[in-house]
Amino acid sequence: MFKKCLSLLLAFLLLHVSVGPVFAKSKAEKKTQFATKVKANILKLGTGETALVKLKLRDKTKLEGYISEAGEDSLVVTDAKTGTATTVAYPQIGQVKGNNLSTGAKIAIGVGIALVVVTIIMFKVSPALNK
């Protein structure tokens, strides 16, 4: 019994060790995959003065402003204070922080506020009805 368990454990370990490196990605593949994710998130944020972003580029440069244009290969970040427009390619971006709420989030916030108001009104009106 002990020999069977030990042989199964060794077979599992050998299989695990031999399959592991197959799933590893190169740095170029990781950068391409990250750039694709960044592009999708930027396109989701949209463009205009409400699409605020903070970017940290791979060369440690920091940009802050709004997305004035978003294309297939790059985006344009415009500084709200100075009006300076900077074109940035998606692979150059190292980190993105966006400050734009989606429509679903805005609706959820509105519904939450409405529920709180209705609850407060119910508690204020119900003692008056019980008298």
Is the residue at 21 inside a domain?
no
The string of pLDDT tens digits covering residues 36-82 is 888 888 888 888 888 888 989 889 999 999 988 888 888 899 988 88
pLDDT band at 125 (very low <50, low <70, confident <90, very high): confident
Asked if residue 108 and residue 82 are part of one domain, the reply reads no
pLDDT higher than 60, residue 21: no
Residues 93 and 122 in one domain: no
Domain count, the chain: 2
Task: Mark whether 33 and 89 lie in a shared domain.
Answer: yes
Q: Does 129 lie in the same domain as 90? A: no
Q: Report pLDDT for 101.
A: 64
Residues 35, 90, single domain; the answer is: yes
pTM assigned to the model = 0.57
Is-contact 69 58, C-beta < 8 A? Answer: no
Are 56 and 85 found together in one domain?
yes
Cβ contact 77:88 at 8 Å: yes
Whether residue 20 lies inside any domain: the answer is: no
The tens digit of pLDDT for each residue in 80-117 reads: 888 899 999 988 888 888 776 667 777 888 899 999 99
pLDDT at residue 23, as a whole number: 58
End-to-end CA distance of the chain: 79
* Domain match, 60 and 123 both: no
Domain of 126 in residue numbering reads as 101-131
Asked if residue 12 is part of any domain, the answer here is no
